[in-house]
Amino acid sequence: MSQLYRSTISSRLSTLQEPPAEEGENDDELEDSLGSLPSVMDLPFHRSGLSQNRAKKTPNPAYAPISPAGYFAQALQVSLPDRGIDVRAYYTPPRSERGGVFVMHHGAGYSGASFACLARELVQLMKGEVGVLAFDARRHGKTTAIASDEDLSMNVLVDDLCAFIQKVFPDPSTSPVFMLVGHSMGGSAVVHASPKLQELKYVISGVAVLDVVEGTAMEALPHMHALLNTRPEGFDSIEEAIEWHVNTHAINNPTSARISVPSILVPRDSSLSPRTRANGSFEYRWRTPLRSTAPYWESWFASLSSLFLSIRTARLLVLAGAERLDTPLMIGQMQGKFWLEVMSDRGVGHLVHEDDPTRLAEILSDFWRKNERLEVRGTVIKRVGER
């Protein structure tokens, strides 16, 4: 989160360049249960407090939304009545039943669609040996509430993740081997969920945490409200929102922004539109206003480092820059307890999986193969995730 804070503030001072227009990739919606994926919604940029007497901006076709349909094989609606939510998920299954599945948990304010480019890169790089399953957490993306979904504390998010996996793969003895991948808040969620899933007899090959460190995240929390003050309250079109994310370097990959940004906004008259003080003149609002999640910030990151080092599986930490590791992670790294990758030479920001999905897919592929099962004459002597 400190990387997010620093990169966002610095980006306001930098000279912005217009990204090149992307070739038309307006894939049709995923057929199945995709329903109304945002495909032609609209968004523009306005700072807080400037909602009155502003000229509406004509949508720029260079930032037209791209459907996730070309990046995942299918979309699912997974009902979890005991959790009070109906989960939107995106899935590309592995080529064979013996393949593994990367389960991906997004960060606060984002959605499963933020992993679209990474999902396609991984599946292509590993030739279908693994699948990718990404989903929208409660109060995010296209996941809807059966009951109240206000509580975003870490325990609730972890229980949601475990219930989701149990629903999609009900039999641990026949389920794929999993690699858990989480960005920021989602990184903490997968760290907490790993031992719970292992207790349920699921095999976890490893846990990959993307751009979050407990020490720097906790230090950044007092500054988060100031950071959020720099964000617009809403947009007039989806195109405007995508352009804002690219121009502020919140997302450095225009293609990924065109896929992921539509899923983190809702039309003002949508049933998913949050009840906030945001001026009603904006056509689109944040699906998850981050200021409303403030009561849960500390629960997301407290004890993350010690938990990460204690999980009984392979561990990978990927950072956008050479941040200062906190003391537990520094000691753990010196002792070789986890694999560390720093992508500072790749021009990435906090959203490492969106900014450079190709390089991250290579890292995750190497991490997977390093922890593959071993078989001798057809007999499994070590499964992925077992020590």
> Which tens digits make up the pLDDT trace of 306-319?
999 999 999 999 99
Is residue 77 included in any domain, yes or no? yes
Question: Which of 350, 353, 355, 356 is the catalytic position?
Answer: 350
Active-site annotation holds for 46: no
* Residue position matching structure tokens 């077992």: 386
Quote the number of domains for the chain.
Answer: 1
pLDDT at 336: 94
Active-site annotation holds for 345: no
Is residue 151 included in any domain, yes or no? yes
Which residue range(s) make up the domain with 112? 2-382
Active-site annotation holds for 114: no
Query: pTM, whole model, 2 decimals?
Result: 0.84
**Ranges of the chain whose pLDDT falls below 70:** 1-54, 274-280, 323, 373-387
pLDDT at 263: 97
Question: Which of 39, 184, 188, 194 is the catalytic position?
Answer: 184
pLDDT at 344: 86
Is residue 387 included in any domain, yes or no? no
pLDDT at 200: 97
Question: Which of 160, 211, 326, 355 is the catalytic position?
Answer: 211
Domain containing residue 245: CATH number: 3.40.50.1820
Q: Show Cβ contacts of residue 48 under 8 Å, excluding neighbours closer than 6 positions.
A: 229, 231, 232, 233
For 219-278, what is each residue's pLDDT tens digit? 989 999 998 998 999 999 999 999 999 999 999 999 999 999 999 999 988 878 766 554
pLDDT at 349: 93
Is residue 286 included in any domain, yes or no? yes
